[in-house]
Amino acid sequence: MEFLGDITGLDPSRPSLLELIAQEQLRDTLQPAIKYILAVFAQQYPRYLIRLVNRFEESYSLLMLIVERHYLKVHGASFAENFYGLKRRRTPAVETVRVNAALNEISPHEKLQPRDINRSLFFLVGIPYLRAKAHQYYEDFGGGIDPTLIESVPRSSPHQQTLVDKIKNAYKSIYPWMNLSMELWQLAHSLGYLFDKTPFYRPWLAWMGIDIRRLGSADYVLNQKGADKDAIRPTGVLPLIRYYLFHSRQQLLDSLKLLLPISIFFLKFLEWWYSPSSPARALSAPRSGPAIPPPAKLSPHPRGLSIDELPYGSCPLCHEQLQNATALPTGYAFCYRCIYNYVEENGRCPVTLIALPGFRVGLSFTCSRTTMKFGKQIQSQQIPGWGAYYLDYKALKKIISSLASSQIPSYDAVRPTDLLNFANRPVQIENTVPPESTSELSEDFSTTTLSLYPAQEHDPPGAGTIFHAHKAAFFFKLERELEKARTNYYNCT
C-alpha cells in the first residue's frame, strides 16, 4: 500500500484519502472479527472464555492499548497505519519536504513525544471504547426499535416516571443527534483534506498537532538500523534471559502485521474449503452411487377425471377451492370430504384410476385431542390468581366438551373482539342450539350463559394497565382458538 501514488503528485509523502479510510476500516473490522472468533471458541470452552465474551469491550480495549502503545513507541504509528505503510509525525511550522528528501534523513522534531503518544492512545483506544459503550446503552434502553413493535405496550404517565426513566428517555432522544453530529464533523474534515484545505483528515489530529505521512526511504533505513542493533545478543546468562524476555514480546507484537494477512488468507481458504463447490464435499460424500431421482409423475387415465382445464388450487371432484387439502399416494390433491367418500366407495384414485388397496384417508388430528389442546392453551394464558376474575374457564371447557361429545351441527357465538367495545358492561355469550338437534344433546350439556368479558367492577384489587392489556390480549387469543375449534369440529363432522 505504501507504493500507491498520490492523486495530486505534489507531495509524495502525503497519503491519499483512500489510504486513510482503508486503515480506519481495517481497525474497525478487527473488533467484530475477534469477537466472533472468541464467541465460537467460548462455546467449546465456556469455563475459560465466557467472562471475556461478557466483558469483550473492556478486554479488547486493554489488548489494543498494549498493541497500539508498542507500535506508537517503536514505529511512530498505530497498528493499522503501520500495516498500510503510514506513520505519524509532529506537524512542523514550516514544511521541509525537499530538504529532508535531499538529505535522506528525518528531522528529530518530527518524532512523537510521550505526550503525543498518550494523546494518540486516548483517541485510538479511549474514544472508540466510549462510543461502543454509548451505542450499547442506547440499544439497552430501547433505542432503534421499530415503533410498531411497541405500540401495544402500555406507557406510564409522565408523573409516574422516575428520574432514571426520564434520563433514559432523554438519552435515547439525544444520542442519535450526537452521533450524527460526530459523523458530519468527521466528514467535513475528510472533504477538507481531500481538496487540500487542511493537512488533517480528522479534527483531533489538528488539536494534537499531528499529521499522517507515508513511510519514506529514510524511515526504512532507520528501521533496518534498529533491527540490526537488536540482533546483537549479549553475553552471560542473566543478560541473555533478559534479552529474550524483552524481545520475545516485541517480536510477537511486530509479527501481528504478518499474522493478519496470513489469518485472512487462512479464513478465505476455510470458506472455500467448506463451500458446496469445494473438493471436500466430493471426498466426504457417501459412496452409495448417484442420487435417487424423484418418482415420475403419474399421468391421468383417459377414462379418469380431466384436470387439464382445472384452475390451480381447485378440487378435481367438486371443482371448488380446496378445503382441507388431502393428497393421495398418486400425487393428486382433493378436498378431504370429497376424496374420503370417493375412496371409501371405489377404492381407487379418481384421476389415474390406480387402485388403493388398504389405503384409508385419515385426519391429521382428532377432535378430542384438539379440544384438550385448546383447553390447555387457554388455561396457560391466564395470569395465576387472576383468571377467575375475567373468565369462567371450567364452564367454557364444559361447553366445548359437550359440543365435541354431542356433535352439534352448528352453534353461534359472539366474537370476543366485539366484546372489547363494551368493556363497561357484561356481555353474555349463549350457546344457541338448533331445535332439531335438541334430542341429540347429552344430559350433562349445559346452556348456562357464559360471561367472557365482565365489567371492570369485577376486576381484582389493584388491577391496572398491565391487567387490562393482558385481558385484551387474552380475548384476542381466545377468538383465534375458538375459530380453530369450530373449524376442526366441522371437519370432524
- 400 pLDDT band, cuts 50/70/90, is low
Lowest mean pLDDT: which of 121-125, 194-198, 288-292? 288-292
More confidently predicted of 292 and 392: 292
CA-based torsion, 78, 81, 85, 91: positive or negative: negative
Exposed/middle/buried for residue 478 (C-beta within 10 Å: 0-12, 13-18, 19+): buried
At 455, which amino acid appears? A
Question: Average pLDDT, stretch 29-48?
Answer: 84
pLDDT score of 448: 40
Q: How far is CA 281 from CA 82, 269, 290, 291, 406, in A?
A: 40, 14, 14, 14, 59
Q: How far apart are alpha carbons 234 and 451 in whole angstroms?
A: 95
pLDDT score of 76: 87
The dihedral region occupied by 38, where left means phi > 0, alpha psi between -120 and 50, and beta the remainder, is alpha
Average model confidence (pLDDT) across the chain: 71
- 10 pLDDT band, cuts 50/70/90, is low
Residue with the three cell numbers 533496518: 224
- Residues paired with residue 327 on neighbouring β-strands, in sequence order: 333
Q: Which tens digits make up the pLDDT trace of 116-145?
A: 999 999 999 999 999 989 988 888 887 766
Is pLDDT of 442 > 90? no
Which of 140-144, 193-197, 310-314, 407-411 reaches the highest mean pLDDT? 193-197
Is pLDDT of 293 > 80? no
Distance of CA 441 to the CA centre of its chain: 54
Which of 72-76, 364-368, 378-382 reaches the highest mean pLDDT? 72-76
Is pLDDT of 106 > 60? yes
Q: How far is CA 290 from CA 104, 277, 278, 294, in A?
A: 69, 17, 18, 12
More confidently predicted of 11 and 180: 180
Q: For the residues of 190-252, what is the DSSP string, one character each?
A: HHHHHTTS-S-SSHHHHHHTEEEEE--HHHHHHHHHHHHHHTPPPSSHHHHHHHHHHHHHHHH
pLDDT score of 180: 92
Lowest mean pLDDT: which of 70-74, 176-180, 390-394, 473-477? 390-394
Is pLDDT of 447 > 60? no
379 CB-near residues (< 8 Å, 6+ apart): 387, 393
Question: Average pLDDT, stretch 417-440?
Answer: 41
Q: How far apart are alpha carbons 125 and 68 in whole angstroms?
A: 8
Is pLDDT of 46 > 70? yes
Lowest mean pLDDT: which of 64-78, 160-174, 360-374, 471-485? 360-374
Residue with the three cell numbers 391487567: 467
More confidently predicted of 427 and 21: 21
Q: Which tens digits make up the pLDDT trace of 49-105?
A: 888 888 888 989 999 999 899 889 888 889 889 888 898 988 887 766 665 665 666
Question: Average pLDDT, stretch 278-304?
Answer: 72
- 262 pLDDT band, cuts 50/70/90, is confident
Exposed/middle/buried for residue 420 (C-beta within 10 Å: 0-12, 13-18, 19+): middle
What is the pTM for the complete model shown? Answer: 0.50
As a whole number of Å, the end-to-end CA separation of the chain is 77
pLDDT score of 440: 42
Question: Average pLDDT, stretch 265-280?
Answer: 72
Instruction: Classify each residue of 359-368 as buried b or exposed e, where b means 16 or more C-beta atoms within 10 Å of its C-beta.
Output: eebeeeeebe
Lowest mean pLDDT: which of 12-16, 92-96, 155-159? 155-159
pLDDT score of 436: 42
Phi, psi angles (nearest 5°) of residue 325: -55, 135
Is pLDDT of 36 > 80? yes
Q: Residue 161: how many CB atoms within 10 A of its CB?
A: 14
- Whole-number percent of the chain with pLDDT over 70: 55
Lowest mean pLDDT: which of 137-141, 192-196, 218-222, 299-303? 218-222
96 CB-near residues (< 8 Å, 6+ apart): 107
- Assess contact for 19 and 1: CB atoms under 8 A: yes
More confidently predicted of 481 and 29: 29
- Whole-number percent of the chain with pLDDT over 90: 10
pLDDT score of 129: 92
pLDDT score of 306: 83
Angle subtended by helix axes 46-54 and 17-44, to nearest 10: 140
Is pLDDT of 389 > 50? no
More confidently predicted of 146 and 250: 250
Is pLDDT of 366 > 70? no
Q: How far apart are alpha carbons 7 and 193 in whole angstroms?
A: 12
Is pLDDT of 416 > 50? no
- 425 pLDDT band, cuts 50/70/90, is very low
At 234, which amino acid appears? P
- 281 pLDDT band, cuts 50/70/90, is low
At 326, which amino acid appears? T
Question: Average pLDDT, stretch 279-286?
Answer: 63
- Assess contact for 356 and 350: CB atoms under 8 A: no
